[in-house]
Amino acid sequence: MKRYNQFVDYFREKYGCRVQKLVVDAGFTCPNRDGSLALGGCTYCDNNAFHPSYSTPDKSIALQLDEGIRFHKVRYRSAAKYLAYFQPYSNTYAPLGRLKELYGQALSHPDVVGLAIGTRPDCLDSEKLDYLAELSQHCEVLLEIGIESCYDETLRHINRRHTFEQARRALEESSERGIRTGAHFIFGLPGETREMMLEGAEIINNLPLGSVKFHQLQIIKGTPMEKEFALHPERFVTWKLDEYIDFFIDFLERLRPDLGIERFAGEVPPRYVNSTPWGLVRNVELLRMLEARLEERDTRQGALLIQRSSYPCRSWQER
């Protein structure tokens, strides 16, 4: 049996093939970037650092999807179905009519079986959630909410301009409508200790989530975070590769086992960072190393948890 709950297995079992996300840039922005809440965005963020070359807002959504399929056919030959992944910036930050138009364009593609929508917790309202709930009755809808940290002090420090309570409410309101939800978190944000990060597992366990995506903090050139790291490196927890894998396993042991793991580490092209302390290790190799280390430690996701009936039951496998 696998030692952790891989999110990709759900779609593989349902469709008989790998279901691959195709990044779509529909030209959105964020309220902490356009002046509604703040300017400049999150202090760690440069969307170009994780933006594939095929996805640019000057192209139609159909063209981005076609080019994305050709791109991923090389890397993931088993992929035969796709989710249109509205990823850059906040992809519910527009009037509902505009969202319907953009999502409809993506869903009209014959190989697209649904949507993955990346957004912020403060860019969701009842009208939009009602629409997504109705849409989820006809296709796959995964609402991926960027939370990044369980701690409000950290969220203020990195200029997120939303609170953890706003994130909790957005997840609860989505879950009440039957919308499948995922969340994104970053390990290593300034001011957070290793112990704080591990304690975050218990907080996440109590959220109505189906899947989670974790990244280690990567210092991107030209960001305010780069300046802070240069001036105050003592604020940051950093890891060598083997140290990070062991840290993540420590975290995984505390994480409830029904949560699907979408990702446990991130990749940024070398040109966007001043150093690559892990070398040029690709995600597939990171997964092999994680699985091998889980075997060596003879442990698994949720190994340290006592059975808890109070955890919200929102397993994506059961929906």
Residue 3 lies in a domain: no
Average pLDDT over residues 152-160: 98
pLDDT of residue 274: 85
Cα 252 from Cα 239, distance rounded (Å)? 17
Residue 2 lies in a domain: no
Cα 212 from Cα 209, distance rounded (Å)? 8
Residue 293, SS3 per DSSP: helix
Rounded percentage of the chain residues whose pLDDT exceeds 70: 95
Q: Is the pLDDT of residue 96 over 90?
A: yes
How many domains, in total, are found in the chain?
1
> Considering the chain, what is the average pLDDT of its residues?
92
Give residue 5's pLDDT band: very low, low, confident or very high (50, 70, 90): very high
Cα 219 from Cα 114, distance rounded (Å)? 32
Residue 254 lies in a domain: yes
Residues spanned by the domain of 68: 8-318
Q: Is the pLDDT of residue 245 over 60?
A: yes
Which spans in 163-270 are helix H? 164-176, 194-205, 224-231, 241-252
Q: Are 149 and 194 in contact (CB under 8 A)?
A: no
Residue 80 lies in a domain: yes
CATH number of the CATH domain containing 48 = 3.20.20.70
- 91-113 residues labelled b (16+ CB within 10 A) or e (exposed): bbbbeeeebeebbebbbebeebb
What string of H, E and C letters represents the secondary structure of 57-99?
CCCCHHHHHHHHHHHHHHHCCCEEEEEEEECCCCCCCCCHHHH
pLDDT of residue 308: 54
Give residue 312's pLDDT band: very low, low, confident or very high (50, 70, 90): low
Residue 303 lies in a domain: yes
Q: Are 156 and 118 in contact (CB under 8 A)?
A: no
Give residue 136's pLDDT band: very low, low, confident or very high (50, 70, 90): very high
